[in-house]
Structure 1
Amino acid sequence: MYLYKTGIPLIDREFGGLRAATNILILAPPLAYAEHLAYRIACPLPGEWTVAITTDERAADVAGAFRRQGAVMNHVGFIDAVTKTSVPTLRDTTKAKFVTSPLDLTSMGIKFSRMVEDMWKEGVMADPPGPMPPPVRLCINSVSTLLLYARLEVTFKFLHVITNRVKKLEGVGVYVLNRESFDERTIATIKQLMNMVVEVRTDDGRQPVERDFRVVGIRGRTTPWIRYLYDDGALTIEG
């Protein structure tokens, strides 16, 4: 089975990476830079592809974040639910597609499927050809915004379709959710769709602010807490 390297030393060293057909929820408080953890996990390695669905930032800004992670940018596609609000004349390209708002879940799902199909075609025609099926990573930042625009039941149905699609693609999906904005019922409902959870915590009582995370449910285990730093666009993970 294909293993997806994460850029997290402990995970890659002890587990070899993430198994194909895995969906991961990053559950974090505000101002934890959890989206950059998501971008690290979703960053494609040579021969891999990534689709980033962004409801919080413009595609141009997310592209910059992936570029700083070292991604090969012609293997990253973006579905942007932010920019078209202010620039309604934007047209889709092969690697950047736009929807009118985070409420347009139907268009988001359709464009995700089309983008993956295009990536598979490119993967099959590559010289030399890469792994088959072409490994695909998905990142959604953020589920919190989807829940602000749509009812829990509607968001759950959309994510159910997307997470199943990731499983069928033998890919990896990463989803960011602000744990302090929603009740336990909402969080528990979204967790049902996931194979594992990355729990993020912060200690605002120290200077500089300390942040760390642990992975719950990887091969039936929970990792120790792992410290990370985010400074001036650079994410550093200890261990």
Structure 2
Amino acid sequence: MYRYEIGIPMIDREFGGLRAASNVLILAPPLTYAEHLAYRMACPRAGEWTIALSTDERAAEVVGAFRKQGAQRNQVGIIDAVTKSSVPTLRDTAKAKFVTSPLDLTSMGIKLSRMVEDMWREGVMADPPGPIPPPIRLCVNSVSTILMYARLEVTFKFLHVITNRMKKFEGIGIYILNSESFDERTIATIKQLMNIVIEVRTEDGRQSVERDFRVIGVRGRTTPWIRYFYDDGTLTIEEWR
């Protein structure tokens, strides 16, 4: 089965990345740059595609973030639920599709399916052809914003469909949830849909803010806490030995 390198040295080196059909929840407090950790994990390698479903940032900002990670523009598709509310005349393109708000979950799901179909078609027709099925990464930034617009039951049903699609397509999904904005019941409900959880924590030291994370669920194991840094658009993950 295809494996996805995710830019976390320990996971890529020790486990060969994540196996296809994985869904990963990044559970993080505010101001920890969790979206940049998600973009790093979702960044496509050669022969891969990424779809970013953005409820927090405009399409141009998301594309820019992936370009900084090394992705080519034609490898990334955006479903933007932010921009159209202020620019209602926007029209969809092959790699950028727009919905009116994060509440429009039906349109998000439809446009996600269409974009996956288009990317599969590109993968099958590529010369030379890549892996079959074509490897696709999904990044949802963020589940927190969807929960602000939709009830937990509605959000759960939407994510249930999306996570099952990623399993069916043999892709991987990366989903961000603010760990401090929701009660334990909400977090536990969303966790049910995931097979891997990344817990992020932060501590205010005397001179700097320290941030680290651990990965739970890779082959039934939990990694040690791994330190990371974010500075001027660059995310650096400390090597763990």
Query: In the aligned structure 2, how far is the partner of 1:59 from the partner of 1:74?
Result: 14
Query: In the aligned structure 2, how far is the partner of 1:207 from the partner of 1:42?
Result: 31
Q: Quickly say closer, same or farther: Cα 1:89–1:166, change in 2 above 3 A.
A: same
- Equivalence map 1:126-165=2 (5 Å): 126-165=126-165
Query: In the aligned structure 2, how far is the partner of 1:204 from the partner of 1:86?
Result: 37
Residues 160-204 of structure 1: CA distance to partner in whole angstroms, max 9, x if unpaired? 000000000000000000010000000000000000100000112
- Aligned residue for 2:189, secondary structure, equals helix
- Aligned residue for 2:201, secondary structure, equals strand
Q: Quickly say closer, same or farther: Cα 1:206–1:177, change in 2 above 3 A.
A: farther
Tell me the matched-pair count: 239
Q: C-alpha root-mean-square deviation of aligned residues, in Å?
A: 0.6
The equivalent residue for 1:176 is: 176
Identity over aligned pairs, percent = 82
CA shift for structure 1 position 24: 0.2
Query: In the aligned structure 2, how far is the partner of 1:174 from the partner of 1:86?
Result: 27
The equivalent residue for 2:203 is: 203
The equivalent residue for 1:3 is: 3
| Matched residue type, 2:176 | V
Residues 101-126 of structure 1: CA distance to partner in whole angstroms, max 9, x if unpaired? 00000000000000000000011111
Contact 1:46–1:72, Cα closer than 8 Å, also in 2: no
The equivalent residue for 2:55 is: 55
CA shift for structure 1 position 73: 1.7
Query: In the aligned structure 1, how far is the partner of 2:235 from the partner of 2:94?
Result: 28
Contact 1:22–1:172, Cα closer than 8 Å, also in 2: yes
The equivalent residue for 2:115 is: 115
CA shift for structure 1 position 206: 3.7
Residues 47-84 of structure 1: CA distance to partner in whole angstroms, max 9, x if unpaired? 00100000000010011110110112201100000000
- Aligned residue for 2:227, secondary structure, equals strand
Query: In the aligned structure 2, how far is the partner of 1:205 from the partner of 1:157?
Result: 40
Is 1:102 aligned to 2:102, yes or no?
A: yes
Gaps of 5+ in 2: none
Query: In the aligned structure 1, how far is the partner of 2:136 from the partner of 2:191?
Result: 21
Q: TM-score, normalised by structure 2?
A: 0.98
Query: In the aligned structure 2, how far is the partner of 1:79 from the partner of 1:64?
Result: 14
- Aligned residue for 2:163, secondary structure, equals helix
| Matched residue type, 1:72 | Q
Gaps of 5+ in 1: none
Q: Quickly say closer, same or farther: Cα 1:89–1:224, change in 2 above 3 A.
A: same
Q: TM-score, normalised by structure 1?
A: 0.99
Deviates more, 1:31-40 or 1:200-209: 200-209
The equivalent residue for 2:91 is: 91
